[in-house]
C-alpha cells in the first residue's frame, strides 16, 4: 500500500531530480571524413612511437589478438637476441604458413599523449607492415578506430 504525503512549508517546492551522470557521446560525423577518398575499406595503417622511435606502417588489426613486430623493426630498434623472452607458440602468417616466432619483447607504444606497454611477438618473415597492434592495444588505450574516418 502506498501512502501519499502532503507538502509542508519546509518542503522544497521543486521536485527533486534524479542525479544522472552524463556520458559523452562517441560518434563520428561527415566532417570527420573530409580529406579521405571515399568509398574505401583500406586497412588502418598508422605511425606510432614504439620504443622511443616513430615507426611508420603499423597496421591496426581489430581481428587479431597478437601484437607482432617484424624483423625490420627489431633491427631498426637495435634490439639484441638477449632482449627477447621465449615465445614458443607457432603463428600463421598472412600467406597461411605456420611460423615459429623468434621470441617476445615488451615495449612502450605511444599514440598521442597515451603510452601503453605492449608485448610484441617477433616474427622473422616478410610483411608489408613493420608491426601489427591489435584490439588488446586499442582496449588498453580506451580507443575506438574507424577505417571510414
What are the structural domains of the chain?
A: 41-141 (2.40.70.10)
pTM comes to 0.71
Summarize the confidence of residues 138-143 as an average pLDDT. Answer: 78
Q: What is the pLDDT of residue 5?
A: 40
Whole-number Å distance between alpha carbons of 28 and 24: 13
The mean-pLDDT minimum among 15-19, 86-90, 118-122 falls in: 15-19
d(CA 9, CA 57): 70
pLDDT of the residue at 40: 67
pLDDT of residue 15: 53
Residue 149 clears pLDDT 70, i.e. is over it: no
- The residue among 140, 78, 68 whose CA lies nearest residue 103 is 68
When computed from its CA atoms, the radius of gyration of the chain, rounded to whole angstroms, is 24
Lowest mean pLDDT among 6-10, 40-44, 98-102: 6-10
Cα separation, 47 vs 110, in Å, equals 10
Question: Stretch 124-141: mean pLDDT, rounded?
Answer: 87
Amino acid at each position: 500500500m502506498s501512502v501519499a504525503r502532503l507538502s509542508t512549508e519546509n518542503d522544497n517546492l521543486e521536485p527533486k531530480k534524479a542525479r544522472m551522470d552524463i556520458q559523452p557521446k562517441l560518434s563520428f560525423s561527415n566532417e570527420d571524413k573530409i580529406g579521405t577518398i571515399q568509398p574505401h575499406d583500406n586497412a588502418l595503417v598508422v605511425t606510432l612511437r614504439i620504443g622511443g622511435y616513430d615507426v611508420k606502417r603499423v597496421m591496426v588489426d581489430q581481428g587479431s589478438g597478437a601484437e607482432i613486430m617484424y624483423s625490420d623493426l627489431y633491427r631498426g630498434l637495435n634490439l639484441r637476441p638477449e632482449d627477447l623472452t621465449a615465445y614458443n607458440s607457432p603463428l600463421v602468417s598472412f600467406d597461411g604458413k605456420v611460423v615459429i616466432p623468434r621470441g617476445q619483447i615488451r615495449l612502450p607504444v605511444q599514440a598521442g599523449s597515451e603510452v601503453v606497454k605492449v608485448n610484441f611477438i617477433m616474427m622473422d618473415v616478410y610483411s608489408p607492415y613493420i608491426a601489427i597492434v591489435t584490439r588488446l592495444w586499442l582496449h588498453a588505450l580506451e580507443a575506438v578506430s574507424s577505417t571510414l574516418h
